[in-house]
Structure 1
Amino acid sequence: MLWLFSAVEELLPVLAFFVVQQSYSFEAGLVVMVLLVLALLAVSYGFGRAAPRFAVASTIALLIFSVPSIVTGNSTFFQISDTILDGLFAFLLLGSRALDFPVLKYLFGRVFAITDEAWRILSLRWGLLFVVLAVLNEFFRLGYSEEVWAYFKLFSTIFILLFGCYQFTLSARMRIPGESNRLGLRV
């Protein structure tokens, strides 16, 4: 059930941004998104759930890129954040794989009990995905309107969630028995 809350935490703010942005303005959608992310993080913390490192880092990144867009009314700061962050994630994941240092294991080792080979495969898969997303983000950011980019943002978020769900097939196959459930999640 925890995975469902995590999926809602990822999708709901982007969906709210999309709806408000389509109905009002880019900045209004961004304000709603930021407030919703902060509220969901507080709810998660309020339920006694330790905030995952990645959630805290992504919230800080959201604030760093969204506040300038809100204050200046220039959507570029927020739009380019996906290119910068996806590129950074790709560099870290592919670089950590090349150096045989599983950064994903550091970030998600409390959640998954899977083999080191699984961490290497996941690093490659996610690294390549983030390269593609960074390139596509620039394609839509530079070539299309804010409204079209917002559609891309929504669909790419949904795709990331579906891609993440698909990765459970790997974690299930390469789980550490006795430390994980059938999906590779720590027990």
Structure 2
Amino acid sequence: MLWLFSAIEELAPVLAFFVVQHYYSFTAGLMAMTLLVVVLLALSYGLGRAVPRFAVISTIFFLFFSVPSILTGNSTYFQVSDTILDGVFAVLLLGSRVLGFPVLKFLFERVFAITDEAWQILSLRWGLLFVLLAVLNEIFRQGFSVDVWAQYKLVSTIGILVFGCYQFTLSARMRIRAESNRLGLRV
């Protein structure tokens, strides 16, 4: 059941942004998204869930880019954040894989009980995905209108969720049995 709340945490803010932005403005959509991100993180913490480090870190970076866009009314700050963050995540994940210390393990070891080999494979997969997302974001940011970029943002978020769900096949196969359920999630 926790996976459902996690999916809602990821998708609901982007859906709120997309809908509000479509009917009102980019800034209004971003304000709705920002409010929802903060409320969902606080709700998760308030319900006693172990909030993954990644959720906290990504929320901080999200606020770092969304607040200037809200204050100035300039969408560029927020739009370019996906390129910057996806690029940074790609470098961190692929670089940490090369160095033999997968950053994903540090970020998610409280959630998943999987082997070191699985962490290495996941680092490669997610690193390559983030490279692709950074490139696509720049194509849509520079080549299309804000409305089309917002549609891309929604589709890419759904794609990330589907990709993430597919990774459960690996975590289930390469889990540490004594410490996890059948999906590799810690018990």
Q: Which residue of 1 aligns with 2:33?
A: 33
After superposition, what is the alpha-carbon deviation per residue over 1:105-126, rounded to whole angstroms, capped at 9, x for unaligned? 1100111111111000000000
Q: Percent identity?
A: 79
Q: Which residue of 2 aligns with 1:182?
A: 182
Q: Which residue of 1 aligns with 2:156?
A: 156
Q: Which residue of 2 aligns with 1:85?
A: 85
Letter in 1 for 2:101: F
3-state SS of paired residue (2:177):
coil
Distance between the aligned counterparts of 2:142 and 2:9, measured in 1? Answer: 28
After superposition, what is the alpha-carbon deviation per residue over 1:78-110, rounded to whole angstroms, capped at 9, x for unaligned? 000000000000000000000001110110011
Distance between the aligned counterparts of 2:108 and 2:50, measured in 1? Answer: 13
TM-score norm. by structure 2 comes to: 0.99
Distance between the aligned counterparts of 1:91 and 1:124, measured in 2? Answer: 10
Give unpaired runs (5+ residues) of structure 1.
none
Q: Which residue of 1 aligns with 2:147?
A: 147
Segments of 4+ in structure 1 off by > 6 A?
none
After superposition, what is the alpha-carbon deviation per residue over 1:4-47, rounded to whole angstroms, capped at 9, x for unaligned? 10110000000000000000000000000000111111111111
Matched, 1:15 2:10: no
3-state SS of paired residue (1:165):
helix
Q: Which residue of 2 aligns with 1:171?
A: 171
Q: Which residue of 2 aligns with 1:136?
A: 136
Distance between the aligned counterparts of 1:110 and 1:51, measured in 2? Answer: 9
Distance between the aligned counterparts of 2:20 and 2:98, measured in 1? Answer: 42
3-state SS of paired residue (2:179):
coil
Deviation at 1:177, TM superposition (A): 1.2
TM-score norm. by structure 1 comes to: 0.99
CA RMSD of aligned residues (A): 0.6
Letter in 1 for 2:113: A
Distance between the aligned counterparts of 1:115 and 1:20, measured in 2? Answer: 42
How many residues matched? 187
